[in-house]
Amino acid sequence: MLRPKTRFGSMRSIARFCASCKQDARLTTAQLADRIGLSSTPCWNRLKRLETQGYIDGYVALLNQDKLCLPEAVIIEVTLDRHDEEVLERFGQLLTDLPEVIEAYLTTGDYDYIVEVAVESTAGYERFLREKLYRIPGTATAGRRSRCAA
């Protein structure tokens, strides 16, 4: 069976390379090279090509919600009052300015957005709704699904 190849090698080797980066984005080039079976220079070259070609969009830090005094993660189902492109785009952009927002997804179905926020308590969630989410133009309703912070 032929395996698809790209400029960087087989899809399997790219997947192994990306999985190692995803598992620990702080690996040194030497550590990454050791994990995937390359020497340091070809590994560094491959990493830079994957970044340049858009296979790797960036690197992130996972924050400890408890240490930030935001132990409660809340999933909010948001309905907007209109569904035109301008309202959807503006709402999504304004969400990115809210530090409590962990993730947000534009969806189809009963809700327009699913938003995960980190808050300190139920009172913090209610404050987030009143002082931030409901002030975003176009927000019609918001419902809650709690989940424990991991």
Would you say residue 67 lies in a domain?
A: no
**Per-residue pLDDT tens digits for 89-140:** 899 999 999 999 999 999 998 899 999 999 999 999 999 999 999 999 999 9
Would you say residue 18 lies in a domain?
A: yes
Looking at residue 134, what is its pLDDT?
94
The whole-angstrom separation of Cα 64 and Cα 141 is 29
Does residue 81 sit in the same domain as residue 32?
no
Whether 149 contacts 66, CB under 8 Å? yes
Is pTM beyond 0.85 here? no
Of the two residues 90 and 63, the one the predictor is more confident about is 90
Does residue 33 sit in the same domain as residue 79?
no
Is the pLDDT at 149 greater than 80? The verdict is no
Q: Whats the size of the chain, residue-wise?
A: 150
What are the b/e assignments for 117-126, b being 16+ CB within 10 Å?
bbbbeeebbe
Looking at residue 52, what is its pLDDT?
92
Would you say residue 123 lies in a domain?
A: yes
The range of the structural domain enclosing residue 34 comes to: 8-52
**Per-residue pLDDT tens digits for 1-58:** 444 455 555 677 788 888 888 889 899 999 999 998 889 999 999 999 889 988 888 8
Looking at residue 61, what is its pLDDT?
83
Q: What is the CATH number of the domain that holds 18?
A: 1.10.10.10
